Amino acid sequence: LERVNKSGAIFDLNKLNWMNGWYLRNLPLDTIVERSKPYFEKEHLAIPDSDKLTKIVATARERCTLLSDLVQYSKMFLCPQQLSTESLDFLKKEDSRKVLSWFQSHLPSGGDIDAEQLNQLVQQGIKDLGFKGKAFYKPLYLALLHQDHGPELPAIFSILGLKEVHHRIQEVLEL
């Protein structure tokens, strides 16, 4: 204790954030879900049902470092932001409309779709339409999340559910 000196103390915020992110990823999911609820209330966001909140937190915690980040991340699922003019223009393009129309017509209308079925559907869409990568995925992300990137499609579909996916795609097709 005699050798401890105050002048050598360094507070590293980056290290603290890294450690907090590590704990977010490694604490039990139920613990993180419960600890995140006050942050939803603080932002005046309605806390979704337990199953949906658990899915959102499971997806978000891999990309967040603070509990408050979980709330910001979840907004794309709960209350997506307005589409930018650039995004609207992109979604009005014929190729974007083809992707969304194809997806809308090939998605099951009820029940659930698991990750394997969704991946097969995506591969079929890419094959049928002849689009690859960004040309195929960007319209889906913009329609579903109102941003051009996000978690993998199976996670999005699991969180939103097929009914909401159909609704969001239909809203964009009606633009």
Domain boundaries, the chain: 9-78, 85-173
Both tokens of residue 72? 């910001």
**pLDDT of 7 strictly over 80:** no
| Of the candidates 6, 17, 8, 127, the residue with the CA atom closest to the CA atom of residue 65 | 17
The pLDDT tens digits of the residues spanning 17-54 come to 999 999 999 999 999 999 999 999 998 888 888 899 99
pTM higher than the cut 0.95: no
User: Is residue 88 within 8 Å of 175, Cβ to Cβ?
Assistant: yes
Q: What is the second-level CATH architecture of the domain 85-173? A: Orthogonal Bundle (1.10)
For the stretch 43-95, pLDDT in tens is: 888 888 889 999 999 999 999 999 999 999 998 888 888 888 999 999 999 99
